[in-house]
Amino acid sequence: MTQAAAPQPWSDRFETALHPAIVVFNASIGFDLALIEYDLTGSQAHAQMLAEQGIISREEGEAIVAGLEQIRSEYRAGQFQPGLDAEDVHFAVERRLTELLGDVGKKLHTARSRNDQVGTDTRLYLRDRVDRIRQQLREYQRVLLAQAEQHVETLIPGYTHLQRAQPLSLAHHLHAYLEMAERDWERLGDLRKRLNTSPLGAGALAGTTFPINRQRTAELLGFERVYANSLDAVSDRDSLVEFLAAASLIMVHLSRLAEEVILWASEEFRFIRLSDRCATGSSIMPQKKNPDVPELVRGKTGRVFGHLQAMLVVLKGLPLAYNKDLQEDKEGLFDAVQTVESCLEAMTILFAEGLSFQPDRLATAVEADFSNATDVADYLAARGVPFREAYNLVGRVVRACLAQGKLLKDLSLGEWQALHPQFEADIYEAIAPRQVVAARNSQGGTGFEQVRSALATVRQRLESTP
């Protein structure tokens, strides 16, 4: 006996319904409902264009636009929640529109395929989220800048290979992350330019026989241009890959700072103190305060990397044009967007109210090492001693100090002059941590004047952004 087919978004060529398990396997309504507002907006522009071109009547166009707006209201009120029988958000909207308008609702899909429709929806969604994430990056930068401006003359050990290297202005250290975030902001802006291209009107893969106006729908939806090739329009997911790559770099930068916060909060460093607003305790160790926020940021970074790799693997072997594989582009994209947004928000809160730097502890830290050794070599080089000779001499001095349990500042002037006659009493000033930092006044360096200038540039940049 032939099984009656359920309503479906394809022709009556099929005689039987899908197997129930295949219905579930095939459906995307469980996640692409996130696109509904963008689907409604894109469909309204399509209907308006169809009416303007005389493909449907003006009255039909107005009825469709109004019907789509009613569906938007129903969705926002929680009254429109399609299930698996709708397969995807596009068919769910079209079916509800037909319920509201009858045969007029069936005209919406004229001169359009779900292939160019989903491409349009996804670009509208991603364009909106790119704008939102760029705003979040600016808020994150403002919080970092506020911290940096408070700590221009707070010193912090600088590291290479996680070994003490040279002392820094803490503001200079934070400024590095401000510059990373600026590249992230710019990168998303560059992506947005390419993203802002309309695939609507490309049809399934070859365009349409109807006299549509693709420039008009692009204008209505705020796209700067249309795809020049219909095959490319329905199969291109470059902007998703670019976004996932940009998102991965945002997460890299957040994760690097998160790792530093975790180290700084440890008993071994004690460079910061965590507030109760952004830390948790242990279930059995009452003395602990755990840096959960940066640990979660560090942990969530991998999932965004994974979505980038997954998207590349989906695309790498696809022939033109649309293939069902491309349904796999959305869950990873949605999750990456949500992950980046939540991590940016969390790190912004952390630096706004979740931690405080400990200047006294930091000052003690920079006094208790040999990170001023390079300045001893520079001191001699400035007095005509070849740098490599000075470098080797200081290496021997450090070795001797370590053997005696001394620091460079503990050497007497006589000991200095016994090492080399060019040493004078001003050696002590030259190797004082604050002077070591202040002296590095080359462009982009940690010298206090340079840092203040750099932060002023950052503030001007942020204040010029709406």
pLDDT (0 to 100) of residue 8: 60
Mean pLDDT over 330-353 rounds to 98
Mean pLDDT over 191-201 rounds to 98
Residue 105 has pLDDT above 60, yes or no: yes
Residue 356's H or E segment, with its range, is strand 355-357
Task: Look up residue 341 and give its amino acid.
Answer: E
**Could you give the dihedral angle defined by the CA atoms of residues 8, 12, 18 and 22, in that order, rounded to the nearest 10 degrees?**
-60
**CATH number of the domain at 20-110, out of 3.20.20.140, 1.10.357.10, 1.20.120.160, 1.10.275.10?**
1.10.275.10
Residue 7 has pLDDT above 60, yes or no: no
pLDDT band at 9 (very low <50, low <70, confident <90, very high): low
Mean residue pLDDT of the chain comes to: 94
Tell me the pLDDT tens digit for each residue of 159-175.
Answer: 999 999 999 999 999 99
Which one of the listed residues 57, 266, 282, 356 is annotated catalytic? 282
What is the domain class of 369-454 according to CATH?
A: mainly alpha
Residue 280 has pLDDT above 90, yes or no: no
pLDDT (0 to 100) of residue 228: 98
Residue 336's H or E segment, with its range, is helix 329-349
Mean pLDDT over 128-142 rounds to 98
172 is catalytic: no
| Rounded CA separation 192/73 (Å) | 29
| Rounded CA separation 418/326 (Å) | 74
Q: Contact 320/205 with Cβ under 8 angstroms?
A: yes
Residue 2 has pLDDT above 60, yes or no: no
Regarding predicted confidence, which is higher, 284 or 213? 213
Residue 320 has pLDDT above 90, yes or no: yes
| Rounded CA separation 466/464 (Å) | 6
Q: Contact 427/416 with Cβ under 8 angstroms?
A: yes
pLDDT (0 to 100) of residue 371: 92
Residue 4 has pLDDT above 60, yes or no: no
Regarding predicted confidence, which is higher, 412 or 25? 412
Cis ω for the linkage preceding 321 (within 30 of 0): yes
Residue 379 has pLDDT above 80, yes or no: yes
Q: Contact 222/310 with Cβ under 8 angstroms?
A: no
Residue 270 has pLDDT above 70, yes or no: yes
- What single string gives the DSSP state of each residue in 155-171? EEEEEETTEEEEEEEHH
pLDDT band at 321 (very low <50, low <70, confident <90, very high): very high
267: which 2 tokens? 């008993």
Domain 115-151+169-208+228-359 of CATH type 1.20.200.10: yes
Regarding predicted confidence, which is higher, 126 or 466? 126
Which one of the listed residues 161, 412, 442, 464 is annotated catalytic? 161
pLDDT (0 to 100) of residue 442: 96
Q: Residues with Cβ < 8 Å from 126, sequence gap 6 or more?
A: 195, 239, 240, 243, 333, 337
What are the two backbone dihedrals, phi and then psi, of residue 211, each rounded to the nearest 5 degrees?
A: -80, 65
Number of helices (H) and strands (E) in the chain: give both, helices first: 19, 6
What are the CA-CA distances from residue 269 to residues 296, 356, 365, 387 (Å)?
20, 14, 9, 33
pLDDT (0 to 100) of residue 1: 30
pLDDT band at 465 (very low <50, low <70, confident <90, very high): confident
Residue 10 has pLDDT above 70, yes or no: no
282 is catalytic: yes
| Rounded CA separation 199/208 (Å) | 13
Residue 5 has pLDDT above 50, yes or no: no
Model pTM score: 0.93
What are the CA-CA distances from residue 301 to residues 240, 339, 356, 372, 427 (Å)?
17, 8, 25, 36, 46
Mean pLDDT over 269-283 rounds to 89
Mean pLDDT over 349-368 rounds to 96
Residue 74 has pLDDT above 90, yes or no: yes
Q: Contact 372/401 with Cβ under 8 angstroms?
A: no
Residue 370 has pLDDT above 60, yes or no: yes
State percent of the chain over pLDDT 90.
88
Sequence ranges of the domains in the chain: 20-110, 115-151+169-208+228-359, 369-454
Encode burial over 110-144: b for 16+ CB neighbours within 10 A, e otherwise: ebbbbbbbbbbbbbbbbbebbeebbebbbebbbbb
